[in-house]
């Protein structure tokens, strides 16, 4: 048994740790403990609860307001691992600079990033978004529809890849073409090798990664090996500092195929926790 004197000696050290890492403890509490408890009390998932909140409070067909409503939920109710408003502005800025026509998103989750990307795409662009968890994909599909997507102008293919067309209150025919979104359900490592033959993606000139961080490097190399990156393609990868993707960053900086920089920011909905988005520019050289 530890004596009181020894316990008192360690007390300042423990207090210092609690103060220094208090924001991480709050994250653990909100993102894990609260969610675990509410899942069991309500019988629904955090993602479903978030969608019900958005459904009740957001303006249908207004993507900006839908994202704002998600943000309100995440700040005041429960934490979701969405890109969030601060890093979202980085994504919007890079997207505006590049104006890509063929976009690939890895990690649809609840559809937050999909709506963020889709509202910034030029007419005629196409967004392919991949989600490995069917439960999350079911929520994302509802969010995409709520934001103003329609199936009417796109062939639906199989049941594993619902497709949507972006609308903003005007008829599609009056806009001269519109950005389209295809939601593909399946593990990224299984979907990526078949993107060209099954989904018609010749190559992507913009990729947004926001799925499992340990999968970033594997999926980047899959995109390379299947020649799915257009020359000059931009790759944005979220959460490369926290929880972090060190092997991905090391590869991007040393392989000679990319110009790489990291946009410093904070973790979504936790301004005191440092994070960042990596921006890679594919040169195609070895």
Could you tell me the two tokens for 183? 């939601």
Does 37 share its domain with 150? Answer: no
* SS3 at position 131: strand
Residues 249, 112, 82, CA angle at the centre, nearest 5°? 50
Per the structure, how many domains does the chain have? 2
Q: For each successive 10 residues of the chain (286 residues), what is the average pLDDT?
A: 62 62 84 92 96 97 96 94 95 96 97 95 92 95 87 36 47 49 95 96 97 97 97 97 96 96 95 95 82
Q: What pLDDT score was predicted for residue 62?
A: 95
* 82 touches 112 (CB < 8 A): yes
Q: What pLDDT score was predicted for residue 30?
A: 87
65/127 Cα distance (integer angstroms): 21
Cis peptide before 221 (omega within 30 of 0): no
Query: Is residue 204 in a domain?
Result: yes
Does 166 share its domain with 253? Answer: yes
Query: Is residue 67 in a domain?
Result: no
Q: What pLDDT score was predicted for residue 6?
A: 63
* Domain limits for position 27: 4-43
52-67 burial, b for 16+ CB within 10 Å, e for fewer? ebbeeebeeebbeebb
Q: What pLDDT score was predicted for residue 258?
A: 97
Query: Is residue 76 in a domain?
Result: no
Query: Is residue 97 in a domain?
Result: yes
186/106 Cα distance (integer angstroms): 11
Query: Is residue 75 in a domain?
Result: no
Closest C-alpha to 203, from 61, 63, 100: 100
* 220 touches 251 (CB < 8 A): yes
CATH code of the domain covering residue 225: 3.40.50.150
Does 146 share its domain with 221? Answer: yes
């Amino acid at each position: 048994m530890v004596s009181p004197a020894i316990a008192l000696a360690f007390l300042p050290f423990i207090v210092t740790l609690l103060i220094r890492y208090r924001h991480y403890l709050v994250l653990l509490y909100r993102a894990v403990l609260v969610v675990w408890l509410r899942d069991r009390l309500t019988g629904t998932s955090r993602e479903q609860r978030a969608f019900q909140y958005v459904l009740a409070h957001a303006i249908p067909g207004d993507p900006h307001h839908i994202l704002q409503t998600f943000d309100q939920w995440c700040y005041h109710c429960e934490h979701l691992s969405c890109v969030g408003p601060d890093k979202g502005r980085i994504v919007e800025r890079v997207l505006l600079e590049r104006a890509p026509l063929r976009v690939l998103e890895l990690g649809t989750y609840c559809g937050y990033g999909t709506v963020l990307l889709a509202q910034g795409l030029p007419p005629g662009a196409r967004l392919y978004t991949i989600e490995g968890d069917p439960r999350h994909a079911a929520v994302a599909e509802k969010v995409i529809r709520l934001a103003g997507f329609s199936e009417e102008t796109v062939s639906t293919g199989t049941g594993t890849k619902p497709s949507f067309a972006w609308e903003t209150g005007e008829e599609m025919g009056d806009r001269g073409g519109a950005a389209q979104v295809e939601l593909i359900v399946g593990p990224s490592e299984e979907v990526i090798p078949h993107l060209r033959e099954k989904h018609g993606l010749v190559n992507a000139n913009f990729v947004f990664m926001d799925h499992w961080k340990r999968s970033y490097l594997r999926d980047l190399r899959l995109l390379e090996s299947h020649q799915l990156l257009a020359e000059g393609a931009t790759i944005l990868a979220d959460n490369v500092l926290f929880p972090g993707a060190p092997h991905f960053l090391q590869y991007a900086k040393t392989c000679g195929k990319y110009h790489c920089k990291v946009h410093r920011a904070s973790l979504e909905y936790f301004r005191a926790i440092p994070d960042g988005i990596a921006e890679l520019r594919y040169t195609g050289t070895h």
